[in-house]
């Protein structure tokens, strides 16, 4: 099956230059709905769902292929190939920020810019690197997920969203988690939280913007600073927004930062 159909690709916008949006863990392309209208006039907007999420074709899920983020990066590249996209502005949220890094290091000539929203090359503290969690924390989180995915989703979603004054956003994220294919969501969680792509950051040769929220329970400020220092010439913007999903909680500020970079 072609990637455009498999990943439920949608193309909108009036422009010629492609802007490819990749959603974070447990979400789908709908999570960009507050962001994309600001760019539809000038860009060709490309949206898709990772396998197992949204309206993607779950029958195409292969546990071995998606045992690392490289499988998801290959999907991004296949979408680019099939749509013949060049000079792509890639916008990736959370785990998809690292998926974009992997895609851009494999085919740097295909991308003109990377915009990494709340990225984390590794969630686990190691040496001088502060990823936000000890390994025991991550193992406990994954154990809880494996034993009660729905309960875990409803508990963790408000923490990830990080905007208690907007409980509807945490509820939306929880609903998105709960509506995902449970097997794929479990596998993807293990890949997401146990991946370590710190060494891949130095391979990025594409102009890069890093958007970091001022407070983020999932990816603290130290992660944004590390990512920026590791990608030569990158620009770090610390948003006033809090939480891990500024694309939902602070779209105007997120749009302004992206437009300034572009």
The helix/strand count (H/E) of the chain reads as 10, 7
What CA–CA distance (Å, rounded) separates 68 from 192? 8
Mean pLDDT of 113-137: 95
pLDDT at 178 over 70: no
Which residues have C-beta within 8 Å of that of residue 205, sequence separation ≥ 6?
A: 104, 105, 108, 232
Residue 110: pLDDT band with limits 50, 70, 90? very high
Crossing angle, helix 135-147 and helix 149-161, to 10 degrees? 130
- Residue 42: left if φ>0, alpha if ψ -120 to 50, beta else—which one? alpha
- Residue 151: predicted pLDDT: 86
* Residue-level pLDDT at 170: 77
Enumerate residues 6+ apart whose C-beta is below 8 A from 165: none
Instruction: Enumerate the active-site residues.
Output: 94, 216, 244
Structure tokens at 72: 């998801």
Q: What percent of the chain has pLDDT over 90?
A: 81
Say whether domain 3-121+197-261 belongs to CATH 3.40.50.2000: no
What's the pTM?
0.94
Whether residue 21 contacts residue 46, with contact meaning beta carbons closer than 8 Å, is answered with: yes
Residue 176's pLDDT is 76
Cα-Cα end-to-end distance for the chain: 34
């Amino acid at each position: 099956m072609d990637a455009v159909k498999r990943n439920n690709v949608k193309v909108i916008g009036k422009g010629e230059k492609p802007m490819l949006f990749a959603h974070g863990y447990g979400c789908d392309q709908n999570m960009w709905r507050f962001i994309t209208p600001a760019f539809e006039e000038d860009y060709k907007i490309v949206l898709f769902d990772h396998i197992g999420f949204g309206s993607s074709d779950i029958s195409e899920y292969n546990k071995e292929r998606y045992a690392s983020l490289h499988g998801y990066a290959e999907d991004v590249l296949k979408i680019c190939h099939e749509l013949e996209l060049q000079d792509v502005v890639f916008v990736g949220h959370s785990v998809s920020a690292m998926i974009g890094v992997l895609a851009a290091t494999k085919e740097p000539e295909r991308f003109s810019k990377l915009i990494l929203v709340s990225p984390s090359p590794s969630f686990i503290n190691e040496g001088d690197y502060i990823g936000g969690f000890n390994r025991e924390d991550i193992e406990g989180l994954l154990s809880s997920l494996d034993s009660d995915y729905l309960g875990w989703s409803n508990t963790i979603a408000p923490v990830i969203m990080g905007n208690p004054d907007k409980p509807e956003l945490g509820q939306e994220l929880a609903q998105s988690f709960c509506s995902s294919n449970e097997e794929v969501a479990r596998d993807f969680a293990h890949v997401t939280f146990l991946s370590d792509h710190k060494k891949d950051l130095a391979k990025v040769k594409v102009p890069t913007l890093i958007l970091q929220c001022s407070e983020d329970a999932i990816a603290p400020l130290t992660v944004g600073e590390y990512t920026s220092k590791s990608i030569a010439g990158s620009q770090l913007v610390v948003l006033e927004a809090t939480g891990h999903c500024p694309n939902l909680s602070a779209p105007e500020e997120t749009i302004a930062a992206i437009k300034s970079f572009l």
